[in-house]
């Protein structure tokens, strides 16, 4: 065999170039190194590491960080997995302390899905889609149709579906907020479609800035991009923002003007500390009531998930999206597309049902549910503010007031010498900073460059899920030492 003949069929030079282009920093090199440290420590081998624990503040994964699952959800799920427990109802409600509404809910869900081991309809079990539609009606005060609800394996899978349908050619473009959750740019890269970035307004609590959106749109059109949709992440990831009603209204107006599909990523809708969550669906219905001729033909899709909120059931891969105003022929193609992968995980579908239809006041499991839910909410809020205050003490660090989601996204200003050193090591300056932080503290965060940021600015994203405050102290100490090391 000549030495120039490749040994294998596949090499980095001949696989799908669009997959290669995709970037997904949330689980990138930093995360991989942090897992290596974690494995090393688990073996009892400190091997010179200056910390005893690894803190995964890079990813919103509450139950990996000791958040307890909500009891009602898991009691029901245990019966769904083993329906023979229903034949021992007296044991459940006696020795095991399952409340009657747990048993009742399990029976209802088993009626909906027959078995959690059976495929459901591609779009999700009809009974569960009914529950989702009722939840949306209660939330927004406007009707929702179960036939427009599509259950999915987490919101990520829903986004993947929608971008596959919308992007029809290399010139197809989607307006994406920057900073953004990199699922969007990664999926667009795989699809060989264009990301049309619009910058969020850090000075105004990371809100949407209509003039920035308009400029991004105009620039893209001038470059020959066929702009088809606009993505909004509200509450924000990585920004932690919670959009006011005016921002939502102005985005909808712009979408109506330019005929854009609105993709509202609303997975953090219950993680709101400031003001109240307003859904894009409600915003749209309000506008349609007021000025139907202008807004009646908008296409909106809203995504939700069991991974976030106080539910935090990431590992169950449950979520849904609702289509509003879509052409039935397009919806049929969406249905076919999701059919190829058969159906979303059925136990995840059941968790979606419980998320949207939790125990109600007066029901036996309500009190515990409420206490657990509120406890998680308050814990997150408290930790968000503690972290925010710590950032306030750090030289060159500035952070918006916590408002929602599970993240803070502070700006950092680091000395020129540090930027020089980063260059030498072939890294972005913020990435360099984050690697230094991980190596010094065991705390894993994600560099702002993984989400996008304005030229010349540097950030990092951290969750505020990790319990305790020790790790916050580690960051403060590291930052001081880092600044001292590189100070001009």
**Residues of this chain, 212-241, that bind its own copies according to CB under 8 A:** 228-229
Which pairs with CB-CB distance under 8 Å and at least 24 residues apart come from 77-82? 77/347, 77/350, 77/351, 79/103, 79/106, 79/110, 80/106, 80/109, 80/110, 80/113, 80/116, 80/347, 80/350, 81/116, 81/347
Helices and strands counted in the chain (H then E): 18, 14
Is residue 325 near its own copies by the rule CB under 8 A?
Answer: yes
Is residue 106 near its own copies by the rule CB under 8 A?
Answer: no
Q: Which residues in the 140-159 window bind its own copies by CB under 8 A?
A: 153-154, 156-157
DSSP letters for 194-239 = EEEEEE-BGGGTTB--HHHHHHHHHHHHHTT-EEEEEEEESS-TTT
Contact 174, 188 (CB under 8 A): yes
Contact 339, 121 (CB under 8 A): no
Site string for its own copies, 400-429 (x = CB under 8 A): ------------------------------
What's the burial of 2, exposed, middle or buried (CB within 10 Å: 0-12/13-18/19+)?
Answer: exposed
**Residue 30 or 440 having the CB closest to its own copies:** 30
What letter does residue 29 receive in the DSSP assignment?
Answer: H
Is residue 61 near its own copies by the rule CB under 8 A?
Answer: yes
List the beta bridge partners of residue 463.
407
Binding test (CB under 8 A) with its own copies, winner from 127, 244, 315, 379: 315
Query: In the complex, what is the shortest distance from the CB of residue 248 to its own copies, in angstroms, rounded to a whole number?
Result: 18
**Residue 347 or 438 having the CB closest to its own copies:** 347
Query: In the complex, what is the shortest distance from the CB of residue 276 to its own copies, in angstroms, rounded to a whole number?
Result: 27
Which sign, positive or negative, has the C-alpha torsion 272, 276, 278, 282?
positive
Query: In the complex, what is the shortest distance from the CB of residue 451 to its own copies, in angstroms, rounded to a whole number?
Result: 14
Is residue 120 near its own copies by the rule CB under 8 A?
Answer: yes
Query: In the complex, what is the shortest distance from the CB of residue 414 to its own copies, in angstroms, rounded to a whole number?
Result: 28
Query: In the complex, what is the shortest distance from the CB of residue 218 to its own copies, in angstroms, rounded to a whole number?
Result: 18
Q: Which residues in the 427-486 window bind its own copies by CB under 8 A?
A: none
Q: Which residues in the 328-347 window bind its own copies by CB under 8 A?
A: 329-330, 333, 336-337, 339-347
Is the preceding peptide bond at 235 cis, omega within 30 degrees of 0? yes
Is residue 11 near its own copies by the rule CB under 8 A?
Answer: yes
CA angle 187, 188, 194 (to 5 degrees): 170
Site string for its own copies, 31-50 (x = CB under 8 A): ----x---------------
List the beta bridge partners of residue 302.
264, 322
**Residue 54 or 394 having the CB closest to its own copies:** 54
Query: For residue 219, how many other CB atoms are within 10 A of its CB?
Result: 13
Is residue 58 near its own copies by the rule CB under 8 A?
Answer: no
Rounded CA gap, 486 and 396, in Å?
13
Binding test (CB under 8 A) with its own copies, winner from 50, 86, 91, 143: 91
Q: Which residues in the 174-213 window bind its own copies by CB under 8 A?
A: 183, 186-187, 190
Query: In the complex, what is the shortest distance from the CB of residue 365 to its own copies, in angstroms, rounded to a whole number?
Result: 13
Is residue 115 near its own copies by the rule CB under 8 A?
Answer: yes
Of the candidate spans 215-223, 313-321, 393-401, 408-416, the one that interacts with its own copies by CB under 8 A turns out to be 313-321
Is residue 74 near its own copies by the rule CB under 8 A?
Answer: yes
Q: Which residues in the 370-389 window bind its own copies by CB under 8 A?
A: none
Strand ranges in 96-225 using DSSP code E only, listed in sequence order: 149-152, 172-178, 194-199
Query: In the complex, what is the shortest distance from the CB of residue 117 to its own copies, in angstroms, rounded to a whole number?
Result: 4
């Amino acid at each position: 065999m000549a030495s120039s003949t490749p040994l294998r069929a596949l090499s980095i030079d001949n696989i799908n170039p669009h997959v290669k282009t995709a970037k997904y920093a949330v689980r990138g090199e930093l995360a991989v190194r942090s897992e290596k440290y974690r494995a090393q420590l688990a073996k009892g081998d400190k091997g010179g590491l200056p910390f005893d624990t690894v803190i995964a503040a890079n990813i919103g994964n509450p139950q990996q960080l000791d958040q307890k699952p909500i009891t009602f959800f898991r009691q029901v799920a245990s019966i769904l997995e083993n329906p023979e427990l229903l034949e021992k109802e007296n044991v459940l409600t006696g020795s095991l302390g399952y409340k009657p509404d747990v048993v009742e809910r399990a029976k209802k869900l088993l009626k909906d899905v027959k078995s959690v081991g059976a495929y459901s309809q591609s779009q999700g079990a009809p009974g569960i889609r009914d529950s989702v539609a009722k939840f949306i009606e209660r939330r927004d005060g406007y009707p929702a149709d179960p036939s427009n609800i599509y259950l999915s394996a987490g919101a990520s899978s829903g986004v993947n579906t929608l971008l596959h349908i919308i992007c029809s050619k290399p010139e197809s473009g989607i307006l994406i907020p920057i900073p953004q959750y990199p699922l969007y740019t990664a999926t667009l890269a795989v699809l060989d479609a264009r990301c049309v970035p619009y910058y969020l307004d850090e000075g105004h609590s990371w809100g949407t800035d209509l003039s920035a959106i308009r400029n991004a749109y105009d620039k893209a059109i001038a470059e020959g991009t066929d702009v088809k949709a606009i993505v909004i992440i509200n509450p924000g990831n990585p920004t932690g923002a919670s959009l006011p009603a005016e921002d939502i209204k102005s985005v909808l107006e712009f979408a109506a003007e330019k005929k854009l599909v609105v993709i509202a990523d609303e997975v953090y809708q219950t993680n709101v500390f400031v003001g109240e969550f307003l859904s894009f669906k409600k915003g749209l219905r309000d506008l349609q009531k007021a000025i139907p001729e202008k807004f009646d033909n908008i296409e909106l899709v809203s995504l939700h998930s069991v991974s976030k909120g106080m539910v935090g059931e990431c590992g169950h891969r449950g979520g849904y999206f609702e289509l509003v105003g879509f052409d039935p022929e397009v919806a049929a193609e969406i249905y076919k597309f999701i059919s190829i992968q058969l159906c979303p995980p059925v136990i995840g579908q059941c968790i979606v049902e419980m998320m949207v239809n939790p125990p109600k006041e007066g029901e036996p499991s309500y009190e515990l549910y409420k206490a657990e839910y509120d406890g998680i909410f308050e814990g997150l809020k408290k930790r968000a503010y503690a972290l925010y205050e710590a950032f306030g003490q750090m030289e060159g660090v500035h952070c918006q007031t916590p408002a929602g989601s599970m993240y803070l996204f502070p700006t950092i200003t680091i000395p020129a010498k540090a930027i020089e050193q980063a260059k030498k090591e072939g890294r972005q300056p913020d990435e360099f900073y984050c690697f230094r932080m991980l190596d010094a503290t065991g705390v894993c965060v994600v560099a702002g460059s993984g989400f996008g940021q304005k030229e010349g600015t540097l950030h990092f994203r951290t969750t505020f899920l990790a319990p305790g405050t020790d790790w916050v102290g580690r960051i403060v100490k590291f930052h001081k030492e880092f600044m001292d090391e590189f100070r001009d």
